[in-house]
Amino acid sequence: MTSIKPLLENDFVAHHGIHSMPVADVISSESNQFDLDDMPSPIQMMEHGRGKVSLTNETFGTAEIVAYENFINQCTKPKSFLNGRRKCDYLLVHCADKGYAMLIELTSALGTNGNLKIPIDKYPGGKYEKCEYQLANSLGDLLAVPAINACLIGKAHRVCLMAYRVNPHTDPDYLMKHPFERYLRVESKATAEDGAIVPCLMINNLGFEYRRISHEYSYRLA
């Protein structure tokens, strides 16, 4: 398989008429378990369970991990390209011909996963809705490039993943006022290691599944 790096730095840049020279931060990994965080580039693979998304690579093959948001943020010419441009955090591509392709958006909430629904900015559906748009728009930008489209659509497993972490409140006064909140912190077992499949036409119509997973589970790359 052709590395995703030249496809981004050459084909993506040319197709979208970008005049700057962005450099894709890409690492290759054969690790069977690792975490990723939304730390600034360069990519840092973390000890399993320490980041914002945990991944288990059951294919035991080589995967390329791209800091996609960092790459897009370097596409500064023309300025219009970044205006309103939504981008996800990571792109993962399995190097086997029939492996997986995955876009990942990381997010978090305080208290319970219900707080992910609180309206923010231009998103009445909260972080749930924001993540959907970031993933769908990133996927659309990638698939618009013929060489990248051929690479990603050729994979057997194609997923856009919202990975979220719910951080518990630690303020004693807050916990006294909300004594039942601790019972709402447990995510449904339906998410487990495969994530919860969520219908999303923006993503599904592009040939990818949309899944959500809580950080307490490790997503199985297969």
Q: What is the pLDDT of residue 184?
A: 41
Q: Per-residue pLDDT tens, the chain, 222 aa: give them.
A: 679 999 999 999 999 999 999 999 999 988 888 999 988 888 988 888 888 898 988 776 889 999 999 999 999 999 999 999 999 999 999 988 788 999 999 997 776 677 888 899 889 999 999 999 999 999 999 999 999 999 999 999 999 999 988 766 454 554 444 444 444 444 444 456 678 899 999 999 999 999 999 878 888 887
Residue type, 212: R
Question: For the chain, which residues make up each domain, given as ranges?
Answer: 4-221
Q: What is the pLDDT of residue 89?
A: 96
Q: Cβ of 47: how many Cβ atoms within 10 Å?
A: 10
Distance CA 94, CA 52 (A): 20
Strand ordering across the sheet containing 33-36? 33-36, 53-57, 218-221
